[in-house]
A and B are shown apart, each in its own frame.
Chain A
Amino acid sequence: MRDSGTMGTALRPAFAAGGMGGSAVPALAAARLVLARDLKLAFRKRSQLVQPLAFFAIVTTLFPLGVSPELPVLRPMAAGVVWAAALLSSLLALELLFRDDAQDGTLEQYALSGRSLTWLLAAKTAAHWLLTGVPLALMAPLAGLALGAPGAAVPGIVASVAVGTVALSLIGSIGAALTLGIRRSGALLSLLTLPLDIPVLIFGARATELAIGGQAYGVPVQLLAALAVLGLTLAPLAAAAAVRINLE
């Protein structure tokens, strides 16, 4: 965390961070504030909150209707269905990740705040995961059970979707930042993001499949966690660079 007022000249007390009844906010505290703001905004705009979940529920419900209502038929495809639906639901909310903030000048203010844009965007991505990834992780077992997964598979499904959606949100944040300046960016965002999401889909579906089959699912979940850590390391940096380019 850099303190304001280190550049060029000694600041007059009226302007120095810490002067006139205020002090500079540490990067982590600033990020926490951005997270709190995004969560508050999401709960005031509930339609955006419900949309990905409704989409997930509809997609997973279509399969029994379209393929067969027989559980022995549905069970082998449950993992794939749950994961494809989770991926597309997460993607649905991505377009909004930075768009509103870019349109009303909030991103500009973040970029000019003298705080690390990387941290602030990481906080926004964390909010995206809390608002889509966590609800999807809680909803996925219901879809899995409806598709014939045994009750014992619930922890595995929750773990894989919870960890996998962290990676999906982080990868998606890069695409959302790159397509900021483009109108109706949804299609381009999908084209950019989906190929990068494939490893997450493969490991996530494998973990869910193993959980449904009653086998150990630790390894694919660990691989998902590794992807999430890699994303956490690189994605906020890349997103911040892309946002700066788009603000120019």
Chain B
Amino acid sequence: MSDFCLEGENVHLWRGDHHVLRGVRFQVRGGECLQLTGANGAGKTTLLRTACGLAYPEGGEITWCGESIRKDMQAFHAQLAYLGHEPPLKAELSARENLEYWVGVRRLLADEELEHALQRVGAQQWADRPVRTLSAGQKRRAALAGLTLMRVPLWLLDEPTTNLDAEGQRLVGALIAEHLQAGGLALAAVHHELAMTAGQGLQRLELTVA
């Protein structure tokens, strides 16, 4: 287990009159994955966005390795990768070009690394096709390749298995398991259980609709 730790303490957040996050508490350490479950509108995405600093909680605090994420937001962001509902890919570029630009903004990327990541998600056959010609599942796989290339300890995943077939869902489970094994940690908002076991560091947090 590594020293990484993401912690939420009594987090409150309102959207207008709607009290979305009501005193949420969580703790995820290196080697652990916290699976966020709950009905639509329970605040899973909001909690993820709050945890990565995109949304500001009205109460409580999120800490990374014991320090508030607000203390040095840029340094905190350099240690996380966030994958939202939509893969951040440009339709006019190929999957390979998208990854070069997306990951390239953060770190220098070697060609072999990119090839390996594309191969890992089964994207070699269509990596040079424009993204507009890809299926939703293929786009998701390309985004997963980008996630593995970030080389950051904290993964924040919003419905990572959306649009994926059974094999793709197992791939997500395997990628997360590898990430945890390397000492990383993950927060994943899901509607369907991740293809992982409790022995692989999986925890659950159920959010309820206000």
Contact = CB atoms under 8 A, between A and B. Distances in A.
Interface string A8-32: 1111101101011111110000100
A21 to B, nearest CB: 5
Given A15-B153, A45-B92, A248-B54, A6 B105 contact: no
Nearest to B64: A8
A105 B105 contact: no
A100 B86 CA distance: 13
A44 interface: yes
Contacts of A22: 107-110, 113, 151
Contact of B102 (A3, A40, A44, A109): A109
A113 B151 contact: no
B93 A44 contact: yes
B92 A104 contact: no
B55 A248 contact: yes
Nearest to B76: A7
A177 to B, nearest CB: 16
B2 interface: yes
Given A9-B65, A14-B183, A4 B75 contact: yes
Interface stretch (A54-62, A82-90, A114-122, A183-191): A114-122
A209 B151 CA distance: 56
A108 B53 CA distance: 11
Interface residues on B, range: 35 or more
A65 interface: no
B67 interface: yes
Interface stretch (B19-27, B77-85, B121-129, B193-201): B77-85
The secondary structure that dominates the B interface is loop
Contacts of B151: 14-15, 17, 19-20, 22
B105 A33 contact: yes
A24 B153 contact: no
B5 to A, nearest CB: 8
Interface in B89-107: 89-90, 92-93, 97, 101-102, 104-107
A22 B152 CA distance: 11
A135 B64 CA distance: 47
Contact of B108 (A23, A105, A113): A23
Interface string B111-136: 01100000000000000000000000
Given A14-B151, A30-B105, A44-B93, 15 more contacts: A5-B79, A7-B72, A7-B79, A9-B3, A14-B183, A15-B183, A24-B78, A25-B106, A40-B93, A41-B90, A109-B102, A112-B54, A114-B106, A115-B106, A248-B54
